[in-house]
A and B are shown apart, each in its own frame.
Chain A
Amino acid sequence: MGLMLAYTLIPLIWLAISATKSNQTLFDSPGLWFGDGFHLFDNIRDVFTYDGGIYLRWFGNTLLYSVVGAGGASVIATMGGYALAKFEFAGRRVLSALVIGAISIPASALAVPTYLLFSDMGIVNTPWAVLLPSLASPFGLYLMRVYATEAVPDAMLEAARIDGAGELRIFLTISTRLLAPGFVTVLLFTLVATWNNYFLPLIVLNDPKLFPLTVGLRQWDSLAQGGAGAGAIPILPLVITGSLLAIVPLVVAFLFLQRFWQSGLAAGGVKQ
């Protein structure tokens, strides 16, 4: 337990402490303790002003890709999972099997075919190229199907139908509330996934103005290390501080969304 805690926390501590250092002290002070001077605020200012403030733009892009992508993916997964769990229709088993199969394909293996497809559609180097694939979350769909099977009692649905409610109304007024904890779980998963997405945006985007933080920070990193052999630009503190700022929204999202993370809302709602 202590080991696990150290394993998770030490990189974070390193990140937070390193963000207070200048380029030089980064290399001549101990990694897990402060160096000469406290440069955090200088670093933060530099992060937001370097290269015409492009960091803010990347931040906005990441927000857009994550909120629309993860939000959309969660909504689609919830509706799809609910349908697969609660409606009998031809091909349901095949569809479920397909979804499970899709989980096992790593996203990076799909990147190239995805690029080919998007280049035919003419949406390479547009936000759509990042958003569209983010909307599909087979794992989320699978999770919601399993969750909906348990969380939404059939008896409750039948009762609603007998009372004369339409399927849409049942879904919107009853099922969504029961599905909320599952929805939030999927939202958190997909949010983290899209926030950290690197390979797909790297492939499909060329314009630095469209980059999410991951690709943008990596670009800074290559400039800082002197990717060209020579002429390194001393911006490593910006990479580190930028990375620290980049995880703040995720931490906030976790703390905020955790409140909705209660299960068994319908427990005791019907007599089995």
Chain B
Amino acid sequence: MSRSPRPSALTRTLTAAGAGALSLVLTACGGGSGASDGGQKADAASVRAALDKPAEITFWTWVPNIEKTVALFEKKYPKVKVHIVNAGRSKDEYTKLTTTLKAGTGAPDVAQIEYFALPQFAISKSLVNLADYGAADLKDKFADSAWSQVSVAGGIYGIPQDTGPMAMFYRKDILDRFGATPPRTWEEFGALAKKIHDADPNVRLTYADPGDAGTSNSLIWDFGGKPYTVNGATDVTIDLKDDPGAKAYADTWGPLIESKLVDSTASWNDEWWKSMASGKYATWLAGAWAPAVLEQNIPQSKGQWSVAPMPGGVSAENGGSSVAVTTQSKNKEASVAFAQWLDSDPEAVKSLNSEVGLFPATKVLLDDPGFRGAEVPFFPGSKPNEVFADMSKAVRPGWQYLPFQVYANSVFKDSVGQALQPGGNLPGALATWEERLKLYGKEQGFTVK
């Protein structure tokens, strides 16, 4: 969640299969037969009251340790029983969710859904519009970048759980070796890439993953792009070719990859972790969820990492997810109340951050001096949360995902991924991706421009 789906060996083999099944269901959903609309409305008071009535809720999530936070809920509201089911990470869960929603049975009451996948489920009327349950009152509790991502087609379809404002993780030891400081602009970023490469061919400033659509989307976002626009439920505009942000992204990253100043490699595998641990890469551009991942997987690099703002000083979200209530839920009020508690109760968000390791979406924590100033032993002498919280405020507004972003990300590798390698033509590949997405959108019954 907090990060966009990264392809493991297994997901890769399954991508084709999954996309096939998913498109099948989406096509079927076009008729609107599968989804029933929420029906009843309720106000905030009756939602709160639902917590004192006996209810059973099924909650699909794949967040490790989240049962610790849910235990706090069950202690406080003992009448509501929450069954946590790990339904698989990201795409695995969405495949299951799409199937069960279409079948009209078997879907959970509450499901964890990443921001990039939320429009897909919202527009197919699979999720409860939380605005009907008084959720609009919660707006001021959340960071703007988080709230805008759960607002889809005029409704509110999820409660933000965590965010991933992008920041630059860097290895102090490596930059020191080259007498460098973290680059503050993209020009400095490019110059440093060259400097490092010229001085030591075994080290790279960073890498680009040809299979990771999430990070590329985030970088386009960071460069000010708005390639996807959704109007209402059926009108979609896709512009990856001429969008200024997409262009800036291609102009900055294309030459770096072309001249091999930046490595081109698949990430999140054994080999990549080894490179990260051994100091092959001087920086890593990733969401604020990254510290816990670094700490768990390469503890031996403790003390070498530090955090800096993104080059250029603005940021984008990389990953992050929300908790949504399905239209199939038999206990909608209790489910909404649970989702709201989980993601906005001060005690709960504190637990999500400290025990589960999620980077908060709520202002109460983002602005908390104790949180911002916290020392993180893995990054001695720096205050990473302060950088992340500032980056969260610096996220460019107005980004939207496609209502078929899960598919879009799954075909990223075949088009743009080919160009994220030496010899590739990045602007051309973005145009190819655009064509492919337009075609798919039309096949799914969207009006695509």
Contacts and interface: CB of A to CB of B under 8 A. Distances in A.
Interface of A: 18, 23-24, 26-28, 31, 106, 108-109, 111-112, 115-116, 119, 124-125, 198-199, 202-203, 206-208, 215, 218-219, 221-223, 225-234, 236
Nearest to A114: B99
Interface of B: 1-3, 6, 8, 10, 14, 17-18, 20-21, 24-25, 61-66, 85-90, 92, 95-96, 99-100, 102-106, 162, 164, 268, 270-271, 273-274, 276-278, 287, 289-293, 296-300, 319-320, 355-359
A24 B62 contact: no
A66 to B, nearest CB: 19
29 contacts: A27-B300, A28-B277, A111-B21, A112-B21, A112-B25, A115-B99, A115-B100, A116-B103, A119-B103, A119-B104, A124-B105, A203-B95, A206-B85, A222-B62, A222-B92, A225-B6, A226-B296, A227-B63, A228-B162, A228-B356, A228-B357, A229-B164, A229-B287, A229-B320, A229-B358, A230-B289, A231-B63, A231-B292, A231-B296
B36 to A, nearest CB: 15
A230 B25 CA distance: 31
A28 B64 contact: no
B24 A27 contact: no
A27 B274 contact: yes
Given A27-B277, A226-B292, A231 B99 contact: no
A150 B262 CA distance: 61
Given A112-B24, A227-B1, A233-B64, A218 B17 contact: no
A230 B106 contact: no
Nearest to A233: B64
Given A119-B105, A198-B14, A202-B96, A229 B273 contact: no
Contacts of A207: 85
B277 A230 contact: no
Contacts of B95: 202-203
Contact of B106 (A27, A31, A119, A234): A119
> Which of A18, A109, A125, A206 is packed against the most chain B CB atoms within 10 Å?
A206
A233 B65 contact: yes
B92 A27 contact: no
Ordered nearest first, which 9 A-B pairs have the shortest CB separation?
Answer: A229-B2, A230-B357, A229-B289, A228-B63, A231-B357, A108-B17, A230-B292, A227-B89, A222-B89
B351 to A, nearest CB: 11
B17 A229 contact: no
B114 to A, nearest CB: 10
Contacts of B6: 225
A106 B17 contact: yes
Nearest to A108: B17
Nearest to B8: A221
Nearest to A215: B88
A236 B20 CA distance: 29
Nearest to B162: A229
B235 to A, nearest CB: 27
Contacts of A116: 102-103
A199 B14 CA distance: 8
Contacts of A28: 274, 277-278, 298, 300
Nearest to A109: B20
Given A203-B99, A228-B289, A228-B356, 18 more contacts: A18-B270, A23-B297, A27-B274, A28-B278, A31-B271, A108-B20, A115-B103, A119-B106, A124-B106, A199-B14, A199-B21, A208-B85, A218-B88, A222-B92, A228-B2, A228-B63, A229-B357, A230-B357
Contacts of A23: 297
A227 B293 contact: no
A28 to B, nearest CB: 5
A202 B64 CA distance: 19
> Which of A24, A108, A199 is packed against the most chain B CB atoms within 10 Å?
A108
A215 B86 CA distance: 11
Contact of B88 (A31, A111, A202, A226): A202
Contacts of A119: 100, 103-106
A125 B273 CA distance: 36
Contacts of A111: 21, 99
A125 B107 CA distance: 12
Given A125-B106, A230-B357, A231-B358, A202 B292 contact: no
B305 to A, nearest CB: 15
Contacts of B103: 115-116, 119, 124
B123 to A, nearest CB: 19
Contacts of A236: 297
> Which of A28, A221, A226 is packed against the most chain B CB atoms within 10 Å?
A226
Contacts of A219: 62, 86, 88
B10 A27 contact: no
B236 to A, nearest CB: 24
A108 B92 CA distance: 13
A226 B293 contact: yes
Nearest to B22: A112
Contacts of A206: 85, 87, 96, 106
A208 B268 CA distance: 25
A31 B357 contact: no
A229 B296 contact: no
A226 B64 contact: yes
Contacts of B88: 202, 215, 218-219, 222
A88 to B, nearest CB: 39
A225 B7 CA distance: 11
Nearest to B11: A218
A230 B270 CA distance: 18
A111 B21 CA distance: 7
Nearest to A113: B24
A127 to B, nearest CB: 16
> Which of B100, B297, B320 is packed against the most chain A CB atoms within 10 Å?
B297
A268 to B, nearest CB: 45
Contacts of A18: 270
Nearest to B98: A112
Given A28-B300, A115-B103, A219-B88, A231 B65 contact: yes
Contact of A203 (B65, B96, B162, B164): B96
Contacts of A215: 88
A198 B18 CA distance: 11
A203 B14 CA distance: 13
Contacts of B20: 106, 108-109
Nearest to A30: B274
